[in-house]
Every structure is written in C-alpha cells, then in structure tokens.
C-alpha cells in the first residue's frame, strides 16, 4: 500500500510537504522569503509548472503568500497557533446520562440547510464524490443479483467484506472477510456491540470529552459512563485506565482510537498496544470506534487497537459515513470472539443491510476510487484545519486554546474560563452561526467554556467571515 | 380509493371474480361445465378476447380446466380443500425464549440459492418489479439532493412519509406525515418500538403460533412472551386477551393484525376495534405489525387496529419488504403517543435511514406504480394459495388440515398427530426440499406436527413436484 501511495503522490505534493514541514517545525518563520520558482526548478529538477503547483498548494493552505513583484513569503506562524489545551480531568466516578435537552436543541435540525455547518460532525456535501457514487449505483444495479432488491446475507455483502479485509492490511489488521459483519453505519455497529456486551447498570469507559452520540447510546441502554482523562494529542490516559481496571470499575471500554471526536486526539501506536495488553490482563472487551482512521494528515494510516488484538477482545468498528456517503448507511464491525453475539444482534434487529448501497461501496473500494478520493479529501481537510487554527488565533479571545488534530474533521476549542459556551451558542444563533458547545460532550459539570468546530467544509470567504464573527462574539462575552 | 380500484379493474377480472365466487361457495362444483365463451360474451356484453382472458385467469388459478373440443369445466373442489385447523391452545403462562438452535439451523443459509424457497418468509425475486425499481433509482439519483449521499432527516424522507400518510387513508388510517417515522424495514420498526416500550422481565403478548423473528427479538431484549390462543381465520381470541389483561399479565401487545405469520389469520375489523378499546381500558400499548396488510385477496384492504386508535396507544408498523424490495430496507412506524421515544431509538441506534432507497419507494408510491404492482402480486399470490391448497389436499396424508389465508404468502399445515415435523424436515433436506417446522413458532411444547409453507413463489412444474414429494415423504412417516 505504501509503495503505491508514493508512486501516486505527485512531485508537487512532495515538494509542498517538505516546505510545509519546515514551516510547521519552525525552520521557516512568518515573513521569511521562500526560494524563487527558478530555484525550486533547479533543486528538484522539475518544470516551472510543478514548482508553481507546489506553491499554489501551500498558498491554498494559507501557509504562504505571494507578494507581487517580490516573491513568496511564509504566512503561517507557529507562534500564532493557539496553545494546546491541558489533559482533561473528569471525575473518577461513573454517571448515568439523564439529560439530553441541550443536545436535542442543537441537533433537531439535522438534515436542514443553513447555519448548522460548524456544529455538525460530518463532512459537507461538496467534499463527497457524488458523481462517482452515482456511477457506482448504476454499476450495482447491473451487476448485483436482482439489482439488490433482495436481502443480503446476514454477515453482509461478501465483496464489501473482502474489500474491508484487504483494506485492513494497510494498518496491519490482517483481517479475513469472514471475521467482518457489515452494518448500517458505524453507529449501528457500535449499537450492536454495546447491546451484545452490556446490560443495564454496567459501566462503559470512554475518553472525556466524548462524542455525544455515545452518551445517548449509553443512556438508552441504561449503562453508566466512566469518563477517562484524555490528552488532546495522545488520547486516553493509560494510568487512569489502569487504575479504573484495577478498581474493577469497568465492564466494557469504548474508545475512538484515531482522531477522536471531539478532541481530535490519536493514540500513539505504542499506547494502543499497551491498552490492548492491559485489557487482556483484566479480560475487558474494547469496542474500538475507528471511523476517522482513514482521514490522517501524516504519511501513513495510524494503526488500530485491533492490530494488536491477539485474544479477540477488540471489536473494531468503522464506516464510510465520514469519508464517502453518510446517507448510504454502510459500516462494519470485526467483532473478534464476539462474532456470534453481534451477528445475532444484526439478525434479530434488522435482518439485512441495504443491499444496493453496500454493493456500491464494495465497487468503490475495489476499483481504487476510495484511495484516490481519500487523498483529495485528506488534503482539503488538512488545509482547512490549518486555516481554522489560524482563524482561531486571529479572531478568538486572548488565551483561547485549541487542539491540533492530525486527522479527522473536528477541532476542540477552549475559550477563556469566563465565557459560557452555551450562552455564546444562543447569541450566535441570532447571527445564523452555530457550533457544538463543550457541555454536551460530558455527563459532568465541565467543558462549559469549550466548543467543537467542524472544519469538514468548503473553505470560502463566508466561512472566514463566520469564524471572525464567532470570535468577535466570544470576545464580547469577556 | 375504492372507486379508483373499480375503475382500474379490467372487465375480465370482474367476470373471473364472479365465477370464482360461485366455485368457492360451492354453487359450481368440480366437473360442472361452464358457460361457453359465446355465452359469456353475450351475457356480459364483452368481446371474445375478454371472455377468454377471464377463463385464462381462472385456469391460472387452477380453478377451472379446458377439455379439448368440449369446453371449460370446474376443476377446483370445495370438498377437496383441507379442513381448517382448530383454534390454538397455548398455556396461559409467559415464557422466556432460551433456545434458538432449530431456527438457526434452518435460516443460517438465508440469502443462498436453492432449496430454501418453501421455508422462507419473503416473496421470490421473480415476483418483484426489479426493472421499475431500477428506474426509480435512476430518478432518485437525479432528483434527490446530493443524490442521497447525505443523511435523511431523523424522521425520514418527507416525500415517503407523505405517501405513507396518503396510503393510510385506504384503511381509514387518517395519518398525517408528521406522525410517521421511517425505519430500515418493518423488523427495525418493531425493534425500536420494543426497545422504547419494554424493559427486561416485562411480558409481551403475541398470537400463537408466532413469527419466530418476534421470539428472537423478545429473547435478545430479555422479555417474556405470553402466547395467546388464535383462530386460523380470525386471529387472537379476545376472551383470552381480556383474561390476561384482567390478571395484569401483559405489559405490551405485539400482534400481526392482518394475514399473520405463520397462521395467515386476519382479525375482523370488529375484533380490531374491540381489541383497541380493551387495551385502552387497561392502558396497554399495542405494537401492530401490519406488514402483510397490502397483500389481501378480497375486495378491499383490511383496516388496521391503528384505524380505531383514539388514545395514541397503537404503534402501527409496516414496510415494503414483503411486497417490493426486501433489500432496500424501507419500513416505517406511526408510533402514536410514543413518537418521541421511538424517534430517539432511531436517532441513538442508527441516526438515519438509507436516503436513496427510501426516495425510490416514495417515487414508486407517488407515481401509482405500487398500486399497479400490488394488483398483479395479489393475483399471483391468490392463485398460488389455491394451488397450494389443492396440492396439499391431493398429496398430503389423510387428515391433514391447512389454513385458508385471505392474504399474505404463508400457509400453515397441520399434519396428523403421529408425524413429527422436525424429523420430516431433516428427511426432506436430503431431497433438497425445505419448510419451516411448526416447533420454531412457539416457546412451548406444541405444533410438533405442524409446518409453514411459503407460497410467494413462481408456480411451475418443479414446485408442484416438490409439493408432491413433500406430501409423499409425510405419508411415509405414518
């Protein structure tokens, strides 16, 4: 996989990456003049066009800027990036979710147009390959037996499961297709796993802050949530996890291993390995939510906890809802030794997935279209993340902190303590701007000054204006 | 609706219906000579072609036969129809489902080709309007915003909900689109309703025998099942229901009001009304599974219990999985006063339905294609039911009884007591014939000599041979 990727990466992207790296690590600083196009051509042995493309790429990420009749200069400033938030400090007691009013107020308009963009947790329409997916639908109609009007096998579309298995090798997952069960999206996979593994009154450990969808699922299943301290870069605090396991406080873990929602943290591979070993020691299953793993900004897809799973305790869940087609409802789970239990949940609660859309995704993966789409998507999202980071630094109140996600499409912002994000949220609504207040990502009294922004959008002037206005409204709260 | 239907019914169908009625009520008996084509033309004032079509229609149902150079004769004999089974007599105690081995043995091959046809509970591929559905997919790609790659609203596709509401008027349902929530099939709707209304240890009352899918759902949710005595024609015994309600034994009811599975019984409208009044008196909700209601063989769609619901206690569930496209996963529920609870289940367990297939079904209903497809499907299934009835009478052991469903696509057969249907099932497998043994439709020790057959198939010589062989194998068991 890696070799293929290198071959496919265009020269201009490789040049841009080198310079980007120098800017990000501070070797090049704001205002520094960059080599002329001619120098780039000579040094890398490329055409003028390629050199131009490299600079254009960096410009689109707002890392550099052109000054007419002078040349190219570094625009991005490391010192202008908001500081990173501290590791979170939730209480060590598990809680039942009992209120949902705030979440519902914000998300009742899901599917509506308008001002919700920054509050949502899915990429915008414009970033999805709609025409290619339609082509896939046409192919599926023609090739799938009965054009997909009949039920799938219970385990799901075999072609899709083979593709997911093949794909898993990229992260050394070594899965076989018959270890995989397809589902109607990642949430649907997580719901089957939770129903298979928990009973009322159990405790599920999650990172804190937590995707509110997980809190809602816990609520409806009557399980308690133990929030674990989490680092904005490296995710779950392993010491806290071990303490809770020792104290016999956890029945099941549910972690977003890569580019968590809302923090954007990514567990280093070594931490993943340690986590799995720890859970093996205490014989506690891990439901791994890896729905963002394919949206990495680095060189390689981060591994999953499943990669290190030797005892079948990890249930690896993912989907294409965050990268390709949320409305297709295509997800999957590799449930390890809990395969029978999860399969039964699928059979008893819904019989079959939607045959035709699952076939489309199989085709998309098989023909290499997924890989090529992801390259574009990652590039766009990485650029957006840098732009958001810069905008937060430019417009938000002094002392604002923000995460620096290396993947996914959400950024977590900590405003000065004096600002209440829910109050700010209500004021912003009047200006048709929205975001997800931090308070909805926890069951405890915390994150009142935090918010989550979705940068999975098409960057344009209106978006920049909205972020500016949001920042100004926040400043007024002080 | 009724007027429209009459206008649309072709003359030949009306003539055929008159004669069919005379045959079914015994006015015309086996061997009776029918009026000549010339007489039909004169009496009804129709062309020779129309008269021929009427007789062809009756022939295809095996009600009449041609004798060369002699004319048309009645073939079907009322006296040759198997006797009706008695009302069922399950115990009045609720049970937990704990075994599922037999069911799994039979259904693990779901989706495979071959010998499962008679055992399944869905209509065959060949009866579904695949080309028209594909046309719908093409339209949906073009007309649906973002071609359906994005999430639907939580409540589901509005166009579809408006069509379902419109459709509900046919049974005097008077539903408004905003009372409806779409789901991924009828089972998915039932699962949300059950999760919203029951907790572990509750008792759910169902008809007996019961669709095994409901037993599995009850098992996985940890609720007990109270099996109610049921009449093969009229469904639930209302006295038994009232006794159980008086004794405070029921938390929730889950009934298939029209053309139940596996009995094929249909509650008379008066019984539906009484049922709803009774449940109102005891304030017990009814989850109504009406997935077969559109497949009626009579003049009019039977009403639903929902029609009589004044207090919002009825959660009306249905789908197009038994009539149009099982693999599209399109179902819905009108949850009455439990709308918020059911909506929350959908949101927390799966967020959205599959946008594109739901749009196709909306289009199918909107353009009148559903009505026209149903007319054909009902005609085919009615013919098949009569053929199955005749074949059972011809080939099955003396003393065999069978239901006479007036809709749906399953028939329930009671073999002589001495025959064990599971033993017979295993012998039949060697001949690549299958069926659903009665034992899997109950949690009690009963129905050992019963079986369910699916007549939702394309009738051909092979099918007749299979039924003959099945009958012979049954005879050998005596």
Chain A nearest C-alpha distance from B325 (Å): 5
Please list, in sequence order, all residues whose beta carbon lies within 8 angstroms of the beta carbon of residue B71, skipping any fewer than 6 positions away: B33, B34, B36
Please list, in sequence order, all residues whose beta carbon lies within 8 angstroms of the beta carbon of residue B240, skipping any fewer than 6 positions away: B92, B228, B229
Partners of A122 on chain B (C-beta within 8 Å) are: 150-151
Phi first, then psi: give them for residue A318, nearest 5 degrees: -160, -175
What pTM did the predictor assign? 0.87
Question: Residues A263-303: pLDDT tens digits?
Answer: 999 999 999 999 999 999 999 999 999 999 999 998 789 99
Confirm or reject contact between B178 and chain A (CB < 8 A).
no
- Given strand A181-183, what is the order of strands in its sheet? A181-183, A331-334, A314-319, A286-289, A252-255, A203-207, A224-228
Nearest to A184 among B148, B327, B350 (CB): B350
Helices A130-143 and A355-366: crossing angle in degrees, nearest 10, is 110
Distance CA A423, CA A436 (A): 12
Distance CA B384, CA B124 (A): 12
User: Considering all CA atoms of chain B, what is the largest pairwise distance in Å, rounded to the nearest integer?
Assistant: 69
Q: What is the pLDDT of residue B2?
A: 44
**Cβ A326–B352 below 8 Å, yes or no?**
yes
Residue A61's nearest CA partner among A371, A384, A338 is A384
Share of chain A above pLDDT 90, in %: 63
Question: Residues A4-22: pLDDT tens digits?
Answer: 444 446 888 888 888 888 8
Q: What is the DSSP letter of A206?
A: E
Contact predicate B209/B263, CB 8 Å: yes
Q: What is the pLDDT of residue A28?
A: 80
Confidence band, pLDDT 50/70/90 cuts, at residue A33: confident
Residue A451's nearest CA partner among A273, A325, A262 is A262
Contact predicate A330/A320, CB 8 Å: yes
Q: Is the ipTM of this complex over 0.95?
A: no
Interface A–B counts its CB contacts (< 8 A) at 174
- Chain B neighbours among A 202-231 (CB < 8 Å)? 213, 216-217, 219-220
Confirm or reject contact between B201 and chain A (CB < 8 A).
no
**Mean pLDDT score across all residues of chain A:** 90
Chain centroid, CA B193 distance in Å? 20
Q: What is the pLDDT of residue B362?
A: 97
Phi first, then psi: give them for residue B336, nearest 5 degrees: 55, -135
Q: How far apart are the first and last CA of chain B?
A: 50
Confidence band, pLDDT 50/70/90 cuts, at residue A79: low
Chain A nearest C-alpha distance from B66 (Å): 36
**Cβ A356–B148 below 8 Å, yes or no?**
no
Q: What is the pLDDT of residue B5?
A: 45
Q: What is the pLDDT of residue A99?
A: 55
Nearest to A327 among B149, B191, B220 (CB): B149
**Cβ B151–A122 below 8 Å, yes or no?**
yes
Query: B345 to chain A: nearest residue by CA?
Result: A220
Q: Decide if pLDDT at A217 tops 60.
A: yes
Buried b (16+ CB within 10 A) or exposed e, A235-258: bbbbebbeebbeeeebbbbbbbbb
* Torsion, Cα of A394, A400, A405, A408 (10° steps): -80
**Cβ B350–A185 below 8 Å, yes or no?**
yes
Partners of A149 on chain B (C-beta within 8 Å) are: 125, 128, 130, 133, 324-328
Chain A nearest C-alpha distance from B355 (Å): 5
Contact predicate A143/A359, CB 8 Å: yes
Token pair, residue A323, equals: 């990268």
In DSSP terms, A252 is beta-bridged to A204
Q: What is the pLDDT of residue A105?
A: 65
Q: What is the pLDDT of residue B1?
A: 41
Confirm or reject contact between A347 and chain B (CB < 8 A).
yes
Confidence band, pLDDT 50/70/90 cuts, at residue A67: confident
Partners of A324 on chain B (C-beta within 8 Å) are: 149
Distance CA A242, CA A278 (A): 7
**Cβ B327–A148 below 8 Å, yes or no?**
yes
Confirm or reject contact between B345 and chain A (CB < 8 A).
yes
Distance CA A261, CA A240 (A): 19
Q: How far apart are the first and last CA of chain A?
A: 50
Share of chain A above pLDDT 70, in %: 93
Average pLDDT score over residue span A48-52: 89
Q: What is the pLDDT of residue A104?
A: 67
Partners of A219 on chain B (C-beta within 8 Å) are: 348
Per-residue pLDDT of chain B (478 residues), as tens digits, is 444 444 446 888 888 888 888 887 777 877 788 888 898 898 888 898 899 889 988 888 778 888 878 889 888 766 677 888 989 999 888 888 765 556 766 666 444 555 677 888 788 888 999 999 999 999 999 999 999 999 988 999 999 999 999 888 766 767 999 999 999 999 999 999 999 999 999 999 999 999 989 999 999 999 999 999 999 999 999 999 999 999 998 999 999 999 999 999 999 999 999 999 999 999 999 999 999 999 999 878 999 999 999 999 999 999 999 999 999 999 999 999 999 999 999 999 998 999 999 999 999 999 999 999 999 999 899 989 988 998 999 999 999 999 999 999 999 999 999 999 999 998 998 888 889 999 999 999 899 999 999 999 999 999 999 999 999 999 999 8
Distance CA A315, CA A35 (A): 50
Question: Residues A336-387: pLDDT tens digits?
Answer: 999 999 999 999 999 899 999 999 999 999 999 999 999 999 989 998 998 8
Place of tokens 């840098």: A386
Chain A nearest C-alpha distance from B248 (Å): 25
Confirm or reject contact between B200 and chain A (CB < 8 A).
yes
Q: What is the pLDDT of residue B106?
A: 65
Partners of B358 on chain A (C-beta within 8 Å) are: none
Q: What is the DSSP letter of B302?
A: P
Q: What is the pLDDT of residue B468?
A: 96
Chain A nearest C-alpha distance from B127 (Å): 11
Confirm or reject contact between A138 and chain B (CB < 8 A).
yes
Query: B156 to chain A: nearest residue by CA?
Result: A111
Nearest to B128 among A149, A154, A329 (CB): A149
Phi first, then psi: give them for residue A347, nearest 5 degrees: -60, -45
Residue B328's nearest CA partner among A357, A325, A140, A181 is A357
Nearest to A150 among B125, B149, B151 (CB): B125
**Cβ B151–A219 below 8 Å, yes or no?**
no
Place of tokens 């000599």: B449
Confirm or reject contact between A122 and chain B (CB < 8 A).
yes
Chain centroid, CA B466 distance in Å? 22
Confirm or reject contact between A195 and chain B (CB < 8 A).
yes
């Amino acid at each position: 996989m890696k070799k293929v990727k290198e071959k496919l990466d265009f020269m201009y992207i490789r040049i841009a990456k080198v310079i980007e790296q120098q800017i990000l690590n501070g070797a090049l600083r704001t205002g520094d003049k960059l080599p002329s196009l001619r120098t780039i051509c000579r040094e890398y042995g490329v055409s003028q066009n390629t050199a131009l493309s490299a600079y254009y790429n960096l410009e689109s990420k707002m890392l550099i800027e052109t000054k007419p009749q002078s040349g190219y200069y570094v625009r991005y400033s490391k010192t202008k990036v908001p500081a990173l938030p501290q590791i979170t400090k939730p209480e060590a007691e598990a809680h039942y979710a009992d209120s949902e009013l705030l979440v519902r107020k914000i998300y009742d308009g899901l599917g509506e147009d308008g001002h919700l963009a920054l509050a949502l947790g899915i990429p915008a329409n414009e970033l999805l390959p709609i025409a290619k997916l339609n082509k896939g639908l046409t192919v599926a109609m023609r090739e799938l037996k009965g054009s997909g009007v009949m039920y799938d096998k219970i385990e799901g579309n075999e072609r899709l499961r083979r593709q997911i298995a093949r794909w898993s090798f990229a992260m050394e997952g070594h899965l076989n297709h018959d270890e995989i069960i397809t589902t109607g999206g990642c949430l649907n996979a997580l719901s089957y796993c939770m129903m298979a593994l928990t009973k009322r009154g159990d405790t599920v450990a999650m990172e804190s802050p937590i995707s509110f969808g997980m809190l809602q699922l816990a609520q409806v299943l009557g399980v308690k949530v133990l929030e674990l301290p989490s680092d904005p870069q490296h995710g779950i605090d392993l010491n806290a996890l071990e303490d809770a396991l020792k104290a016999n406080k956890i029945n099941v873990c549910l972690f977003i291993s890569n580019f968590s929602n809302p923090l954007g943290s990514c567990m280093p591979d070594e931490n993943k390995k340690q986590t799995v070993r720890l859970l093996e020691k205490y014989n506690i299953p891990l439901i791994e939510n890896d729905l963002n793993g394919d949206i990495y900004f680095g060189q390689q897809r981060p591994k999953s906890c499943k990669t290190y799973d030797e005892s079948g305790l990890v249930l690896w869940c993912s989907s294409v809802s965050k990268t390709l087609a949320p409305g297709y409802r295509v997800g999957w789970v590799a449930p390890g030794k809990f395969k029978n239990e999860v399969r039964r949940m699928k059979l008893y609660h819904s019989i079959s997935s939607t045959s035709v859309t699952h076939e489309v995704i199989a085709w998309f993966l098989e023909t290499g279209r997924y890989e090529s789409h992801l390259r574009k998507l990652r590039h766009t999202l990485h650029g957006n993340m840098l732009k958001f980071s810069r905008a937060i630094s430019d417009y938000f109140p002094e002392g604002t902190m923000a995460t620096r996600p290396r993947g996914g499409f959400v950024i977590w912002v900590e405003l000065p303590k004096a600002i209440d994000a829910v109050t700010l949220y209500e004021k912003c609504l009047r200006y048709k701007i929205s975001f997800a207040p931090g308070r909805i990502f926890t069951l405890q009294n915390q994150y009142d000054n935090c918010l989550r922004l979705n940068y999975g959008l098409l960057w344009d002037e209106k978006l920049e204006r909205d972020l500016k206005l949001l920042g100004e409204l926040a400043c007024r709260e002080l």
